[in-house]
Chain A
């Protein structure tokens, strides 16, 4: 009885999903996979939060191959999913070709700009957040040497690095910033062992605060920093809790909020260019009980001061991707 019931239920669900309009949102994860402890997982968190609060469901797919990018977009659009949210710059090319074919469907792409009337492009001012955590790192450092460990060597990560260096130099112009990238391929996003090795190398060069902007690789950076007794800075999600009392702060890039907002807006999603920065809460540094003891009142006051100035436009942090150069080393 129950097996038969199950069978009918599943067959009905399959029949429904294959043809009829869904009008539920869809989320497409990049090849890195859903549970990367960082970027994709933040997106999943936002979608889950939306689903729990509204009681609705959403479609999702983790890609297996490059050819599936276009396929997933088209199939979801044809099935009536709306809006369709995707994570990662790699969708840019495909989306610009697919979006005009489905004018009634709204798309949201994170970390990339696609110019089409039915696309919402969400980009983050990572350089602003990196500037703030750079200031904190410089103030927490006793040796005057701090480290940066990036994931894949792409302009986006150099944007993190450049903002960080600017923040460090704003506090201590004589400080040294050691920079390392984990690799040049997407594998660099998920190589905690290499992250750990780079951290040790930076410690050997005198760094006593390291900032990891490296996805899953950052887990190794934070672990080694905690083991070796130096401070670290997390990225994307709030990672303070990973090593309580050892993580100075986290540069929070609220991908979850971007996904949550897109799904909440639903079919009325406002399209166009959407910049998430310090000013609108899309970028922030993390404060909680895990790092309260590490951040002095002076430190917090100076960072909050800078935050206000950035938000008001009084202080402009240079964006590496605007001209592919960084004014400071």
Chain B
């Protein structure tokens, strides 16, 4: 058997990739005359040593969990959904319509309604590329990325022409009513004496994201549909031979994927801004690809990778606040992590695989 042990695949490779990314980031920081160790300390202090820092880290992580899950579900059917950004944008529209036009008595009902709205809009936006892929053979990578631009244009039109209150300057909808405001971590965990998570945007949606991880795990590994999705992903011809309809699986996998991406907007639109704004997704749809790759398309891996990227986002903000490292360089550091954990995965994997095989031969 020419395979690595499982622990090496899921633990060692991401760790080595991460270390490489950290190393090159340190070189970059050194090159502009800042101290990489002080920078790392600042990131860790700001993102993990204060409760408000965790509040931001988990807020970003919530976004990445949803988009990461979206990419992984589609990937189990070997569909590369890179349209999470557009699906999340339209999901935001679903949230806004549900919050603005339905009179919710309590936030707990509103979050359910908004989630349904977000999931429906996101799924609908994934349906068209899915249909085109399944029936017409238009490649899903091309169609989903093009649909991102269409989604941005639609959102722009709706916000500027339809939802913007009269006289307002922001291209944004009106503020959602008080009844649909989601409890933040500050509301949930602060006591009389101590204020925890002060001002941080992390909210109850985080638990919805954890629930989504569990549901996806059950779906992929414990249900018949999940088996069909995986079988189709492993080999389309074998799946066909076993009586699995490629059209049905393509469409269903993409619908689930789009729904998950759309639900990200419950966090940003309903939990944070409490109104629909133009750039609420902020690239989380694309970060989801890196999260899914790094998490090996497993919900638990996605959770861990999402928290890592949340840390990078929040730590990056701390760097921008307290050092003179320009924001472009913070993007460079984030990109290095994506590059090493996602794109250059094989660079680490292949030598490591050879190493393990060589060791096994020697033992045998």
Contacts and interface: CB of A to CB of B under 8 A. Distances in A.
A324 interface: yes
Contacts of A153: 160
A7 B38 contact: yes
B34 interface: yes
Contacts of A324: 166-167
B103 interface: no
Interface in A122-170: 153-156
Contacts of B171: 184-186
A72 B156 CA distance: 27
Contacts of A6: 35
Interface stretch (A57-65, A222-230, A232-240, A265-273): A57-65
B322 A17 contact: yes
Nearest to B280: A66
B59 A184 contact: no
A11 interface: yes
A18 B46 contact: yes
B56 interface: yes
Contacts of B108: none
Contacts of B268: 67
Interface string A183-223: 01110000000000000000000000000000000000000
Nearest to A9: B35
Contacts, number: 87
Interface in A49-97: 59, 61-62, 64-68, 70-72, 74-76, 89-90, 93
Given A74-B199, A75-B321, A89-B170, A11 B280 contact: no
A213 to B, nearest CB: 14
A55 B3 CA distance: 63
Given A89-B169, A184-B160, A70 B322 contact: no
Q: Max chain B CB contacts within 10 Å: which of A65, A67, A70, A76?
A: A67
Contact of A18 (B42, B167, B201): B42
Name A's interface SS.
helix
Q: Which of A153, A156, A185 has the most CB of B within 10 A?
A: A185
B interface, size bucket: 35 or more
Chain A's interface size range is: 35 or more
B45 interface: yes
Given A70-B201, A155-B169, A65 B322 contact: no
B48 to A, nearest CB: 13
Contact of B56 (A66, A71, A154): A71
A323 to B, nearest CB: 10
B345 to A, nearest CB: 26
A329 B59 CA distance: 48
Which of A14, A93, A156 has the largest number of chain B CB atoms within 10 A? A14
A48 B193 CA distance: 42
Given A7-B38, A155-B169, A72 B322 contact: no
Contacts of A155: 167-169
B41 interface: yes
Contacts of A66: 272-273, 277, 279-280, 282
Nearest to B323: A14
A59 B320 CA distance: 10
A14 B313 CA distance: 19
B91 interface: no
Nearest to B63: A67
A275 interface: no
B322 A14 contact: yes
A21 interface: no
B327 interface: yes
Nearest to A90: B170
B202 to A, nearest CB: 10
B198 interface: yes
Given A14-B41, A18-B42, A184-B171, A67 B201 contact: yes
Contact of B45 (A18, A65, A67, A184): A18
10 contacts: A11-B35, A14-B322, A61-B320, A64-B316, A74-B52, A74-B199, A93-B175, A153-B160, A184-B156, A321-B167
Interface of B: 34-35, 37-39, 41-42, 45-46, 52, 56, 59-60, 156, 160, 166-171, 175, 198-199, 201, 268, 272-273, 277-280, 282, 313, 316-317, 320-323, 326-327, 330-331
